[in-house]
Amino acid sequence: MSDQKARALGFNHIALEVGDIDAALDFYAKIFKVKLRGRGGKMAFIDMGDQFLAIAATGKVDRDAERHFGLVVDDQAMAVENAKAAGAVLVEGSKNTFYDPWGNQFQIVEYSSIQFMKTRSVLESMGLGYLEKSDAALSELGEKGIKVE
């Protein structure tokens, strides 16, 4: 076996199981700006610039205690308030994590507070322009030798 290994670079997409595509698109649109990348059969694809969220209709509701994904947003407080208004179930003891109606656990994280970065061209294509990073996020990036323009 070789010591050489491929390097994980990030995510192209995340796939979630939902009960119904139309119901899921309606639910997510109450929380986030939803731009449909495409749709076919029992799948739909929500655009996030250079990434996407794939949703597949399976009819399953399967809530996990710990399995989740962190969704980066430009305004965490707004997303969490919208999730509450849409009827999302907040995870006990959390201010930014909720379940959708099919048991998928979303942890909402604010772009400015974390290392994750979109290129300027991707942000502009999403109609966002430049988004600031907190001093803590800039420090974490700097420790890795990543320069923020």
Q: Quote the mean pLDDT of the chain.
A: 92
Task: Please tell me which residue, 17 or 66, carries the higher pLDDT value.
Answer: 17
Structure tokens at 3: 């010591």
Q: If pLDDT is split at 50, 70 and 90, which confidence band does 148 have?
A: confident
Q: Which of 75, 68, 96 is nearest to 32 (CA)?
A: 75
Structural element, H or E, at residue 141:
helix 135-143
**Can you state the percent helix, strand and coil of the chain, rounding each to 5?**
25, 25, 50
pTM beyond 0.85:
yes
Mean pLDDT of all residues in 14-31: 96
Identify which has the larger pLDDT, 146 or 85: 85
69-110 pLDDT, tens digit per residue, is: 999 999 999 999 999 999 999 999 999 999 999 999 999 999
What per-residue confidence (pLDDT) applies to 1? 66
What is the model's pLDDT at position 65? 79
Looking at the domain that runs over 13-141, which CATH code has it been given?
3.10.180.10
Average of per-residue pLDDT across 113-139:
90
